[in-house]
Amino acid sequence: MKKPARRNASLAAAEVRVEPQLANAPMSDIIDALTAGRVNATALTKACLARIEAFDRAGPMLNAVRALNPDALAIAGKLDGTRPSAKRPLAGVPILLKDNIATGDGQPTTAGSLALEGARAKGDATLVKLLRKAGAVILGKANLTEFANILATDMPSGYSSLGGQVKNPYVPTLLDDRGIPVVDPGGSSSGSAVAVAAGLCAASIGTETSGSLLHPASRNGIVTVKPTVGLISRAGIVPIAHSQDTAGPMTRTVRDAALLLNVLAAKDPRDPATEGQKRPADYSADLTHDAMKGARIGVPSDPADPMNDPYYGKLPPDRTRLMADVIKVLEDLGAIIVRASMPAAGWMSGPGTTMAVLNRNPLSGNKGNPVAQRIVFLYELKHDLNLYLKDWATHTDIKTIADIVAFNEAHADKALRFGQDLFLAANNTRGDLSEREYKSARAMDLLAARTRGMDAYMNQHRLDAVLFPGATGAAIAARAGYPSVMVPGGFVSGADGKDTPDYPLGVSFAGRAWSEHKLLRLAYAFEQASCMRKPPPGLRAP
């Protein structure tokens, strides 16, 4: 009996000793520690909870975690005797979910809305089932921009009426007069990104319709994969628009993103978009330092065509210098840099793809004026959200988008700090996607962004990937339904004329449908050569 007692005492000591190193370690290192028995699921979960208490609830009060899973420690305890394996590759790994991803347990799924406070789901979203099957500990729900930033014009990134304001861990300062971040945390998967950057979890899951994975990953110095639409099932995710919605991993390294993608990428009869899915057996295979050699990387910035340069031409000087350094790294790795402007039709989109919506946000500098908004988003929102509320939502009287609008109006003092002009516009559509303007807008989105945009650009220049500063290329790739991989690119400072501490700027590699593995290989080569990720300062282990 003495030998097991000594082993348990040694393990307990090891758990305390390794926690500071694991707090900001790659998920792959955490998996290695679990596999070797240097730490167990309970110790990891307790360490995450301690960091959430120290830095999310106290200290800088990052507010990245909207709610904790009351069953997290019990789940971890059941996994203490299970080490990661091919069958359960994530056994014991604590993961946060964006609070628009359904769980069939005691956790509410609210999309950050007061109208859905307490609402639960009839079951786990498909991606949650896959995570649980792989052995992950679902730690809780991350805060987000309310309804994934489709409620109101000019709503601050990371704000929700139920969860409050998420802060950027590199610059957690708020403007005194309005409580809006000096440097926003990126949206709408802000809480998911901040939690990974601050070491509150091993990894997280976010969602994107257009930029909601890429933007917060860029602002928080982490890695994400915005997949091809259909690679990861959307069943059980509070939607914006099925044409572009997807979930994706948010991690500290490219390898970690590949490991999560191995678990999440699966066909699902509940999501028809997954029927045509194409994926390799292992996204983490062939991640090598020399993957960039000979790759043709498009830089959509032609000095001979300055009028057609929306991605690089308007960058501030520090970001221009950063991208020059990034391109130098790629050249040193053997990449062939192709400087050529993106076809204007691609990034401008086509006629009839936007509609004017009256900006009713009382805190917007443009309030009272019409603002162009995407037709596809507003028309699909009513259709898709009504289906989610009908098929997934429980423990709530809210059954339609009209119910949400009415609830918000009845509780305007708490629910409508920034208005709900986009929900008002969406609620005025038929909700059955029968309108000619919707069908035309969707067809034009594909024609402009895919056929005349990304496809034409990549075909003409025989490209392997397109390089964008930060999330500037999010819209064209998202409208095409194509993938992007974000990786830390460096640091910048300053916001709206104010001096700030340094904060991250990422770079994204975008490509054709189902090219995630190629993009991950290119991003890995850059990541290993540049080593640009640095944890937020001042967040040492509690």
> In whole angstroms, how far apart are CA 267 and each of 62, 86, 205, 230, 373?
36, 19, 18, 8, 32
Catalytic residues: 98, 188, 212
Prediction pTM value? 0.96
Q: pLDDT digit string (tens) for 311-340?
A: 999 999 999 999 999 999 999 999 999 999
Tell me the residue type at 410. Answer: A
**What confidence score (pLDDT) does residue 96 get?**
98
pLDDT confidence of residue 540:
79
Task: Please list the alpha-helical segments (H only) found in 115-266.
Answer: 126-133, 190-197, 214-220, 254-264
CB contact at 8 A, 224 and 214: yes
Contact 471, 502 (CB under 8 A): no
Reduced to 3 DSSP states, what percent helix, strand and coil does the chain have, rounded to the nearest 5? 40, 15, 45
Cα dihedral value 347, 348, 351, 357, nearest 10: 110
Angstrom CA distances, 518 to 190, 273, 321, 502, stand at 26, 21, 27, 31
Euclidean distance between CA atoms 188 and 459, whole angstroms: 32
Which secondary-structure segment (H or E) carries 36? helix 27-36
Mean pLDDT of the chain: 95
Over residues 122-141, the mean pLDDT reads 98
Question: Is the pLDDT reported for residue 223 higher than 80?
Answer: yes
First CA to last CA distance, the chain: 34
- For residues 419 and 421, what is the distance between their CA atoms, to the nearest angstrom? 6
CA distance 75 to 54: 22
DSSP 412-479: HHHH-TT--HHHHHHHTS-SSS--HHHHHHHHHHIIIIIIIIIIHHHHHHT-SEEEEETTTTHHHHHH
Query: Would you place residue 542 in the very low, low, confident or very high pLDDT band (cuts 50, 70, 90)?
Result: low
C-alpha dihedral sign at 71, 76, 77, 82 = positive
- Give helix then strand counts, H and E, for the chain: 18, 17
Extract long-range pairs of 407-413: CB within 8 Å, 24+ residues apart: 407/114, 407/115, 408/114, 408/115, 411/114
For residue 104, give its domain range. 2-276
Q: Pick the closest to residue 329 from 471, 186, 438, 489 (CA basis).
A: 489
Does the pLDDT value for residue 17 go beyond 70?
no
Whether 445 is in a domain gets the answer: no
63 DSSP assignment:
-
d(CA 80, CA 445): 49
Question: For position 21, what pLDDT does the model report?
Answer: 67
Cα dihedral across residues 262, 268, 270, 272: positive or negative: positive
Q: Within a domain: residue 333?
A: no
Higher pLDDT, 126 or 539: 126
In a domain, 246, yes or no: yes
Q: Is residue 12 part of a domain?
A: yes
Work out how many domains the chain is built from and give that number: 1
pLDDT class for 541, splitting at 50, 70, 90?
low
| 241 close to 377: Cβ distance less than 8 angstroms | yes
Contacts of 301 (CB under 8 A, 6+ apart): 309, 311, 312, 313, 339, 341
In a domain, 107, yes or no: yes
Mean pLDDT of 201-223: 98
For 216: left if phi > 0, alpha if psi spans -120 to 50, otherwise beta; the answer is: alpha
Q: Which run of H or of E encompasses 509?
A: strand 503-510
pLDDT tens digits, one per residue of 50-92: 999 999 999 999 999 999 999 999 999 999 999 999 999 999 9
Mean pLDDT of 482-511: 97
Q: Show the DSSP H helices in 221-353 as ranges.
A: 254-264, 317-332, 344-348
Q: What was the pLDDT predicted at 4?
A: 33
Residue 82 sits in a domain whose CATH number is 3.90.1300.10
Is 175 within a domain?
Answer: yes
**Window from 11-25, 301-315, 376-390, 447-461 with minimum mean pLDDT:** 11-25
Which residue do the tokens 């066909």 mark?
Answer: 267
Query: Which residue, among 209, 287, 202, has the nearest Cα to 251 in the 3D structure?
Result: 202
| 22 domain residue, yes or no | yes
Tokens of 347: 């990034």
Instruction: Give domain status of residue 6, yes or no.
Output: yes
Residue 22 has a pLDDT of 80
3-state class (DSSP) for residue 500: coil
Measured CA angle at 126 (ends 122, 130), to 5 deg: 125
Inform me whether the pLDDT recorded for 141 exceeds 90.
Answer: yes
Whole-number pLDDT of residue 175:
85
Q: What is d(CA 274, CA 264) in angstroms, rounded to the nearest whole number?
A: 12
